[in-house]
Structure 1
Amino acid sequence: MAVYTSVNRSELSDFLLQYSLGELVEFSEIGDGIENSNYFVTLAPQNEERVGRDAGNGQHQKWVLTLFENLKAQELPFFLQLMTWLAEKGFPVPAPCVRKDGTLNGTLRGKPSILVPCFNGRSLDNPAPAHCERVGKLIAEMHQALIHCPQQRSAPRNIDWMRSQASRLSGLIPQSDMKLLRSAIDHYGTMKPEMEQCPSGVIHADLFKDNVLFDGDEISGVIDFFHACNDSLLFDLAVAANDWAVDGKQQYDKLRLNALVTGYQSVRPWSDSECSLWPSFLHLAALRFWLSRLESRYMPGYQKVSTQGDKTKEPDELKRIILNLGLVATK
């Protein structure tokens, strides 16, 4: 993610003393993303008997260090335990490394911080339908597995949050955007009772293309679980659809969208109500992320002071999805 907190070699070496992983070889900033400060960290194992699937027979090992910029230490257990739970179930999720004192996170430069394994693979800018089908299937498999997950967290971006954000944005965005925003929130308010009757559970809630890694044609990693919460399962798929299955004009590519949905339904078929409410879930996913991007773009906050990397994503991409869905009046 974009880097907001700089770390020097001495500080990082001291932090690593709390792990039994080895000595620091090199580290570098990761400039992609918008929310936390991340670094690639390369370590030389202390010996070839180091326990763990990443031991690598004495080879240098690559890790990812994350410093949380907007999450407090007391908020982390849900996310870190969720990642550990999924990794133990065999999902390609980077479980946080356990420290010598048995905890999953420490503090670096005054920020809660974790170390996770760095997975092979890369995110895809232009996924093919086959990639979308694999992603849809994996989302459904996680949803099915997470039925038994003990972790719980209420969705923070509820309708009260939406209305509060809209009020804060008044006067900061064009009047036409404000009118569309309020109409979109009202639409969700009308559909909300029906949507909340659909199946729900723990979801990732942020499955954009940059949070899924592919090694060849196979998914090698699912990362950035720090928006995970309990919410409608179909919302999770809608978030993915609004990034994986749209073209440059933010219109849905039928082949990719169908592949994503087909992959999902091959594991968890939709109910009749989910089928009828799918457009409203696409609308809700676009609305929530339009609001969060408007917040990042127009409101003061830590994202204004990154040392490198793009600080914000383009809000109008999500606005165009709302317009293209045609569920709310634009005049």
Structure 2
Amino acid sequence: MSVFTPLERHELEAFLAPYGLGRLLEFQGIAAGTENSNFFVSLESGEYVLTLIERGPREDMGFFIALLDVLHEAGLPVPYAVRTTDGGALGELAGLPALLQPRLSGHHVALPNSHQCQAVGELLARLHLATRAEMIERPSDRGLDWMLAEGPLQALRLDDEARGLLKAALEEIAHLRPRLDHLPQANLHGDLFHDNVLFDGNFLSGVIDFYNACSGPMLYDLAIAANDWCSEPCGEFDPRRLNALLAGYAALRPFTALEAELWPAMLRIACVRFWLSRLIAAEAFAGQDVLIKDPEEYRRLLQARQPGTPIPGLPFAL
């Protein structure tokens, strides 16, 4: 189970008392986490999710709270910090920053259909439009500089073929860096995988886990989602799902010519980011009872996104 910091009932009850939400009925750890400790918490007033922030500086928590408040006020189906009776949004539990948020309805989909992919595209466009005019600055701690620094270190662990694949991708990132900085920007979810979205049938009922959120190119957020939501196990795209995702997004925010040009490269950059982070996690948590996602998945995706392979372009580019 991916609960890095277990809790005792008495310490959780003491933490929850200032919220005035009633008696603690039950709680349980959530096994799906890969970076933070999460718990389902049942109180007399309703269902909640408690997150202990295991990774990242504490000073960034104000950013996450402010961003989720903005998105909640814009009508997006996101969690937000429940306040204590004296207005506090961020607490401390077991020596870690702790957030209590409403539990959203719905469930994850393992095999999304084109209707669900379209809904994800629409949601992502709404998120970007809600923050583009007044973006809250927070560079990603796993952005381009991190990739260029961490990539050569991780390459030492790879076989010759994989090392060559990663090296070529890092060279492309370094070459394109000045142009990437000129892409349209907003606040990003940064981790919009299918296990961070909730559905009730084809209705998108919730988006969770904003702890990789940052400011940056909107195209990068879309590339992360496309690689996860629209790929076959072999790494190639399912054209129907990809076209649905892109059409749902473009219907609300049309793409620019620069975005259309850099789209194939951005898909590769998104692959590099998660290949590297999964390699690091696989080494750090080897032999532990922690959910570790397969790094090889993103090696296959990067291989399938190489220059010269057919990739559907962005629709309605201006």
TM-score with structure 2 setting the length: 0.92
RMSD of aligned alpha carbons: 1.8
Quick check: 1:127–1:244 contact (8 Å CA) kept in 2?
Answer: yes
1:247–1:203 Cα change, 3 Å: same
3-state SS of the aligned residue for 1:18?
A: helix
Q: Distance in 2 between matches of 1:191 and 1:170?
A: 20
Matched, 1:294 2:279: yes
Q: Distance in 2 between matches of 1:117 and 1:158?
A: 30
Deviation at 1:188, TM superposition (A): 1.4
Match of 2:37 in 1: 37
State which of 50, 53, 57 in structure 2 corresponds to 1:68. 53
How does 1:242-257 map onto structure 2 within 5 Å? 242-257=227-242
Matched, 1:106 2:86: no
Match of 2:294 in 1: 314
For residues 163-196 of structure 1, give each alpha carbon's deviation from its aligned partner in whole angstroms, at most 9, with x where no partner exists: 3212432543334322321211101111222222
Q: Distance in 1 between matches of 2:158 and 2:89?
A: 41
3-state SS of the aligned residue for 1:17?
A: helix
Identity among equivalent positions (%) equals 39
Match of 2:315 in 1: none
Match of 2:20 in 1: 20
Deviation at 1:20, TM superposition (A): 1.6
Matched, 1:173 2:153: no
Amino acid at match of 1:121: G
Match of 2:258 in 1: 273
Matched, 1:326 2:311: no
Quick check: 1:159–1:185 contact (8 Å CA) kept in 2?
Answer: no
Amino acid at match of 2:57: K
3-state SS of the aligned residue for 2:235?
A: coil
Structure 1 residue runs without a partner (length 5+): 46-60
Amino acid at match of 1:19: Y
For residues 19-67 of structure 1, give each alpha carbon's deviation from its aligned partner in whole angstroms, at most 9, with x where no partner exists: 121110001111013111111000013xxxxxxxxxxxxxxx1100101
1:170–1:234 Cα change, 3 Å: closer
State which of 78, 81, 87 in structure 2 corresponds to 1:93. 78
Q: Distance in 2 between matches of 1:295 and 1:107?
A: 28
Match of 1:2 in 2: 2
TM-score with structure 1 setting the length: 0.89
3-state SS of the aligned residue for 2:237?
A: coil
Quick check: 1:72–1:112 contact (8 Å CA) kept in 2?
Answer: no
Return the structure number with greater relative CO, CA threshold 8 A, min gap 6. Answer: 1
Quick check: 1:165–1:295 contact (8 Å CA) kept in 2?
Answer: no
3-state SS of the aligned residue for 1:41?
A: strand
Matched, 1:128 2:113: yes
Structure 2 residue runs without a partner (length 5+): 309-318
Deviation at 1:152, TM superposition (A): 1.4
Q: Distance in 1 between matches of 2:58 and 2:190?
A: 21
Quick check: 2:135–2:187 contact (8 Å CA) kept in 1?
Answer: no
Q: Distance in 2 between matches of 1:218 and 1:280?
A: 31
State which of 267, 273, 283 in structure 1 corresponds to 2:268. 283
Q: Distance in 1 between matches of 2:293 and 2:54?
A: 17
**Number of corresponding residues:** 309
